Amino acid sequence: MGKRSRQRQKNQNAGRDNRDTAGWGAGYADIIKENKLFENYYKELGLVPEGEFEQFMEAMREPLPATIRITGYKSHAKEILHCLKEKYFKDIQELEIDGQKIEAPQPLSWYPDEQAWHTNMSRKIIRKSPLLEKFHQFLVSETESGNISRQEAVSMIPPLLLKIEPHHKILDMCAAPGSKTAQLIEMLHADMDVPFPEGFVIANDVDNKRCYLLVHQAKRLNSPCIMVVNHDASCIPTLEINSNGKKDVLFYDRILCDVPCSGDGTMRKNIDVWKKWTTSNSLHLHGLQLRIAVRGVEQLAVGGRMVYSTCSLNPIEDEAVIAALLEKSEGALELADCSADLPGLKWMPGVTSWKLMTKEGQWYTDWSEVPSSRHTQIRPTMFPQKDSEKLASFHLERCMRILPHHQNTGGFFVAVLVKKAPMPWNKRYPKLRKDSKLSSSAAQTSSSKEAPSPGDTPHLPPEGSTEKVERNSQEGKVDKEADETPEGASVGQDAGAKPEGMCGPPPSKKMRLFGYKEDPFVFLSDDDPVFTTIQSFYDLSPDFPKLNVLTRTHEGKKRNLYMVSKELRNVLLNNSERMKVINTGVKVWSRNSEGEEFGCAFRLAQEGIYTLQPYIRSRIIRVSVEDIKVLLTQENPYLSKLEDEAHAQAQKIGMGSIVLKYIPNPNNPGEPQCPIQLCGWRGKTSIRAFVPRNERFHYLRMLGVEVFRDKQGLGQKRSDGEKDGKEEAEDAAEKDEEQEEERAADKEVDLENGNENGSSESKTDCGDKETSS
């Protein structure tokens, strides 16, 4: 049944594939890139500099350039950049297709360290050249490995303006699909020598299904400092943490508030916006955007920064929201001047006056002009501030609007808010929960004299903002969920207490509104019997944080063990009844039934090796570049295939899971200048690397091995001219399929619903058994 369903879907998608072959804008021939209402509206508003409107409209009709970003926190980022420049970009510069010279990718001038690039190459051109097809496969493979992200250029701006540091506690309020979240995680891990930064990212989205997309994005980065939760951002609960034995409210140092919007800045890639755009989209969304922004600043620590962003150019969704927020804050918030933060980025300052237009084309310049029949759709906060002195104090010119024709990007709006004092409604209306253990002093952050937490105080939106359910489909859905979800930290107050160390799913009546029921997050105790064999087998260092290890089941055998940072453990243990956690932690060990006879039932997992390895003091084999090539291109090579030093080390180690560690030699710049750590298995006479397919490809490329699989099924070949390169790469191709199955099984366990009783272990165990025999 499932197979037939997939076949139907494949047939339905065939037309879409054909459209792709005709270039990025193809397939939308029936959508004419004209919208008179859109043109009239933006022409009248005057957001585009005089004399540039035609350029602006022409740019909106052009396909959007593809942009890629090299993940900055990976220790291999420089190696990937070197690989891109030397192997791909150089060749592309010399390339001609159909008599036309291909324009090589260019770095984004404003993105630090040449870590982001853009190109105008279309899918049609990519398919015409084997060399470009290689480049495309490289991008796909490295994207799946988490080393490259394909992300729209303007989407990269908000995380840069947050100025993340490794100790920051960060909330991403509307995080899916997760490209910005990935940037936040990378910034936390700026120092790869620190496996557990003090900070963390809590990534939230209201859509349960999109949360799993978010998990997939975050999982590629293998961080123990990310948690994905599922809430309506406009009433996301206030969380508590344990601080020096007292319960404190969690306030965030940085908040990314990338709100749902009408998306008229995305017309270059979302062609159907041309047909669907009306001004009523912005009117419907303004209230929701304002409520989300208000909830964000309530949870922001004093001294913290919140970035508000939309992919809309409309002042109703942009400056109007910021102005309403600033007015209600009564000086507690101020717009930061970011003009010098991204040198090279072209942007227009925010506007201080704008008008409002209905979809019928009727204009209003002031709330007093709006007839009462329109009061449910049009609200006072949508209009500019009348008081010129107060308007000047807002400094709306510090907002940044990116126009598509200035640097060949999408349209975007971003504003950076700094919190100077607690929000006034938090100070005026303290209201503690009856059974709360919080005292007024405990409700303050260590860095500020904060009032009682937002979740414990009345939620007062800015004056005049709509409290009615908007009839826009998206906002209606969100508001419905908001109505069903109790607000703030009071959720789950009368729920039964959980056993210590266990974070179960929230009570179903209160929180399980939609989506899958998640398995619990159970932290292991310091004396859990699981650690006995693990401790001795891997000779873990005394400072290994056992209390940070968790599993997803409290009954039966523990299938996988995960690790989170100490700070996220604190959040999980104190808020299991308040929030719906979709996923957290990085997998560090997987149960392997064959391993028990060798001394330990758990083998190392590649996902968590960089987190775990600093604590492992035995079962480490130091390998060379040639050793890694052998391990990644051959199936179960004999120990004798290793070079002498690695072979001697392997002989001294018993059968079972091992760490294969490469340490760069600064005196040999021709070799990779970044450390490489791989999980492996020491068999009786052979040795094997347990590395997923795309990571295998990634490491091979870094070592100078070409891993391009051509469409005629001729396997893969090596570019450095080594004698047995083709044969070894073909072995790797066979190995890839097996690794892909193992990875798919792991994904099913890890991503879908945390089911610890899946079937992935049988495949893993078979592989281990085969190796060890």
Instruction: Give the catalytic positions in this structure.
Output: 311
462 is in an annotated binding site: no
258 is in an annotated binding site: yes
29 is in an annotated binding site: no
Residue 445, classified by CB atoms within 10 Å of its CB into exposed (0-12), middle (13-18) or buried (19+), is buried
178 is in an annotated binding site: yes
Tokens of 671: 């070799």
> Within the chain, how many helices (H) and strands (E) appear?
25, 32
Sequence-distant (≥ 6) Cβ neighbours of residue 663 within 8 angstroms? 622, 675
| Separation CA 297–CA 172 (nearest Å) | 12
Q: Token pair 């390339």 is at which residue?
A: 95
How many CB atoms sit inside 10 A of residue 75's CB? 17
Tokens of 245: 């034995």
494 is in an annotated binding site: no
CA 221-24-112 angle, 5° bins = 40
| Separation CA 133–CA 710 (nearest Å) | 9
232 is in an annotated binding site: yes
179 is in an annotated binding site: yes
| Separation CA 735–CA 24 (nearest Å) | 34
301 is in an annotated binding site: no
Among 315, 288, 291, 293, smallest CA distance to 306 is for 293
| Separation CA 735–CA 633 (nearest Å) | 8
652 is in an annotated binding site: no
Phi/psi region, residue 599 (left: phi>0; alpha: psi -120 to 50; beta: rest), is left
| Separation CA 330–CA 325 (nearest Å) | 9
Residue 638 vs residues 283, 631, 650: alpha-carbon distances, Å: 68, 10, 11
91 is in an annotated binding site: no
Residue 143, classified by CB atoms within 10 Å of its CB into exposed (0-12), middle (13-18) or buried (19+), is middle
Element (H, E) at 254: strand 252-258
| Separation CA 275–CA 30 (nearest Å) | 10
492 and 511 Cβ atoms separated by less than 8 Å: yes
524 and 501 Cβ atoms separated by less than 8 Å: yes
SS3 118: strand
Q: What is 19-83 written as a DSSP string? A: HHTT-TTTT-TTS-S--HHHHHHHHHHT-SPTT-HHHHHHHHHSPPPEEEEE-SSSTTHHHHHHH
Helix, strand and coil in the chain, % to nearest 5: 40, 15, 45
| Separation CA 285–CA 282 (nearest Å) | 5
Phi/psi region, residue 621 (left: phi>0; alpha: psi -120 to 50; beta: rest), is beta
Tokens of 577: 């009844």
The dihedral through the CA atoms of 632, 637, 639, 644 has a sign that is: negative
Tokens of 42: 């933006």
731 and 696 Cβ atoms separated by less than 8 Å: no
Binding-site residues sit at 174-180, 205, 232, 258
Q: List, as residue ranges, the binding site for S-adenosyl-L-methionine.
A: 174-180, 205, 232, 258
